[in-house]
Structures are given as structure tokens and as C-alpha cells.
Amino acid sequence: MNTVLILSYTKDMTYYNMLKECIESIDVDCDVVVVETNSKLKGKDIKLPAQFIFPEEEFNYNRFLNIGFSHIRDSKKVIISNNDVVYDKGCIEKLFKSLDVYDSVSPSETKIDKNIEGNTVGKLVKGWCIGLNMEVYNRMGEWDENFSFWYQDNDYCNFISREKFKHCLIGDAVAVHRVSASHSLVSDIHEMTHGLEDVLHAKWVK
């Protein structure tokens, strides 16, 4: 069974409805795992078709990804997603199928008539939705937890480029990203966004 792994902060009904719309747009048989920042929801009857995990620690994007991956058992393909994404009909299925050909994939924000290979951050690699074969994660070992929010996708792109994994934007797999809705996850917005550029530079610029 393939897995969609969603990072979420359900702080009120607006965000609950956003997460609900995200989950309901996953129109394929797969496991859905939600790593939820709002620990107050633990033990509540959340009427959404997903497994919920509640880390007992402050939000860190890559740390929460690692926690999510630790709960994935048999999946060979995983799509990581923000909670502020809505997938067009058939999008998730197309992404999973594309992972038979590519090591890593992202959806397009508008339908295009071709797939585009490459690992340009933002243009081809969408940090809010990346599908990857477990081989990629196993080679990585884990997501680098020094990247607590921004530049996680830059770090990922540098890794797959170094390891010669092939990424592709899937032109007919379309998703809508509500840009910056996920910023409510963080308390110190500068430290966890622009402040992480130095971390990326120190790791990859020799």
C-alpha cells in the first residue's frame, strides 16, 4: 500500500476544513498518515480517514517528516504533502504511477502537455508536495532536521542531484497550493524561513 504523509496544524475549524479538503481530494486507495502539531486533538474523535500522529515536541518540518516515515511500514512509494493542498481528480494516482519511472515527482499547478525532468526548486520540485520512492529516503537515511521549515526542498534537491536520482514535474497531475497557509505552524517566522539560508549554505557550499 502506498502512503500520503501530511504535515498539519489543525488549530481551528478553518484549518480542520482545509485538512479535510486535502484528505478528501486523495481519490486513490492508499494509507493517509497525518503528523498533527496540535497535540490538544490527541484522543479526540477526528472524523477523517487517516492515521493521526501527535509528536510531543515543537514543530520542526523535517523532524515531523522523520516521525511520519517511522510509522510507514510496507510502502514503496510515499507522497509528502502540506495540509494546504487540494489535489485534482486523479492527481495522486498519476504521481504514484509516475514513481514507476522516476525516483521523485511533483504535481503541476496548471495542466501542461508534457512532463518536465529536472530539480529546480519551486519550478519543478514543489516543496509542498513531493512524491518519492522509499529507495530515495533509505539512501538519505533521514530528513536533515537542521532544516526546521524553509530550504528543506533545496536540501532535498541538492541530495537527489548528488545521488543522481531523477525528479520530474508531472504535467497532467494538477494540485492547488494555498501558498503560505502553513506558515501558521511556526512561532519565529524569520528564524525558520530566511534564517535557515545560512544552514543550507554551510552544508552545501564548499
- Reported as a single tens digit per residue, the pLDDT across 146-159 is 988 778 999 999 99
8: helix, coil or strand? strand
What does the pLDDT read at residue 180? Answer: 54
C-alpha 24/C-alpha 48 separation (Å) is 9
Tell which wins on pLDDT, 201 or 5. Answer: 5
C-alpha 136/C-alpha 132 separation (Å) is 7
In this prediction, residue 190 has a pLDDT band, given cuts at 50, 70 and 90, of very low
What is the CB-side half-sphere exposure of residue 150 using CA atoms within 13 A? 16
Tens of pLDDT, residue by residue over 114-144, are 999 999 999 999 999 999 999 999 999 999 9
Tens of pLDDT, residue by residue over 60-106, are 999 999 999 999 978 999 999 999 999 999 999 999 999 999 999 99
Q: pLDDT > 90: what percent of the chain? A: 72
pTM for this predicted structure = 0.90
Average pLDDT of the chain, as a whole number: 90
What does the pLDDT read at residue 69? Answer: 96
C-alpha 113/C-alpha 105 separation (Å) is 16
C-alpha 64/C-alpha 148 separation (Å) is 9
Contact 8, 19 (CB under 8 A): yes
